[in-house]
């Protein structure tokens, strides 16, 4: 799966270098086995963002933009990565870019494992991320919420400007982050500006063996 993610990322026109950051020797050996580039990182990192920051700080002093792609996203599309980077570069005011997809499943709205995002209509600056089905539509029956077209599923890819990445890696956990267990809320609480790109591609993370059930291998 990790090799698949790397090979997809390497096809993105906006990516110069693809590396794997890990604290697991088994993953490192696996990546080296097929000729990939890997860096071992501190095992105490609480998130992938911190792991990215360590690698960038130590090994990539000239990197202007850093893209964080999780190794459990085998369905990632090169076009998604290019959209993410373009969204950041086209919005000079933004520190970080991420992606969202319009919600199409009623069940998705009430699933706390699916993060939702709301953003401004003019600049698409992120206002809030939540496991709750935000925005709450007063007076609208749950079965009719999707018809209003206001709910977006957050796609957990990030592109950071270098200095922003190094800064956010120094932030301590914040109340909103701890309440929802979402690190991007920490960034918002510290005043960081996140721009949201809209994608039509769906993503399916593989976090457990059960997640593989029902997945068509041909789709990968």
Please give the DSSP secondary-structure letter assigned to residue 3.
Answer: H
Instruction: Give the number of other CB atoms < 10 A from CB of residue 104.
Output: 10
CA count, 13 A, side-chain hemisphere, 4: 14
Angle, CA 143 vertex, CA 137 and CA 149 arms, to 5°: 55
What residues contact 83, with CB distance under 8 A and at least 6 apart? Answer: 99, 197, 199
Let me know how long the chain is. 220
SS3 86: helix
| 85-100 pLDDT per residue, tens | 999 999 999 999 999 9
Task: Evaluate if residue 53 carries a pLDDT over 90.
Answer: yes
Instruction: Let me know: does 103 contact 201? Beta carbons within 8 Å.
Output: no
Question: Range with the lowest mean pLDDT among 10-14, 36-40, 139-143, 205-209?
Answer: 205-209
Domains and CATH numbers, the chain: 2-203 (3.90.550.10)
What burial letters (b/e) apply to 146-167, b meaning 16+ CB within 10 Å?
beeeebbbbbbbbbbbbebbbb
Burial grade of 20 (CB within 10 A; 0-12, 13-18, 19 or more): buried
Per-residue pLDDT of 163-202, as tens digits, reads: 999 999 999 999 999 999 999 999 999 999 999 999 998 7
Sorted by sequence, the CB contacts under 8 Å of residue 74 that are 6+ apart come out as 1, 4, 5, 8, 206, 220
- Degrees (nearest 5) of the Cα angle 9, 188, 133? 80
Q: Compute the distance between CA of residue 112 and CA of residue 130 in angstroms, rounded to an integer.
A: 8
pLDDT band at 215 (very low <50, low <70, confident <90, very high): low
Classify 26 as helix, strand or coil: helix
Give the CB-side neighbour count of residue 136, counting CA atoms within 13 A.
Answer: 5
How far apart are alpha carbons 97 and 159 in whole angstroms?
Answer: 5
**pLDDT at residue 54 tops 80:** yes
Give which of 198, 197, 171, 199 is closest to 185, Cα–Cα. 171
Nearest-Å Rg of the Cα atoms of the chain is 18
pLDDT score, position 179: 97
Q: What is the average per-residue pLDDT within 121-147?
A: 95
């Amino acid at each position: 799966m990790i090799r698949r993610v790397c090979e997809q990322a390497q096809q993105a026109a906006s990516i110069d270098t693809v590396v794997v950051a890990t604290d697991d020797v088994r993953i490192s050996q696996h990546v080296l086995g097929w000729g990939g580039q890997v860096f071992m990182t501190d095992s105490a990192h609480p998130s992938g963002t911190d792991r990215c920051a360590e690698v960038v700080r130590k090994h990539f002093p000239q990197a202007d933009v850093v893209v964080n792609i999780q190794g459990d996203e085998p369905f990632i599309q090169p076009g998604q990565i290019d959209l993410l980077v373009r969204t950041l570069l086209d919005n000079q005011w933004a520190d970080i870019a991420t992606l969202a997809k319009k919600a199409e499943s009623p069940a998705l709205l009430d699933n706390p494992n699916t993060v939702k995002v709301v953003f401004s209509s003019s600049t698409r600056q992120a206002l809030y991320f939540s496991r709750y089905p935000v925005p709450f539509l007063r007076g609208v029956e749950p079965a009719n919420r999707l018809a209003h077209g206001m709910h977006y599923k957050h796609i957990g890819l990030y592109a950071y400007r270098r200095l922003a990445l190094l800064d956010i890696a120094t932030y301590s956990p914040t109340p909103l982050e701890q309440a929802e267990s979402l690190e991007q809320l920490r960034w918002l609480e510290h005043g960081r500006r996140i721009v949201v790109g809209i994608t039509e591609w769906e993503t399916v993370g593989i976090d457990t063996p059960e997640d593989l059930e029902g997945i068509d291998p041909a789709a990968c």
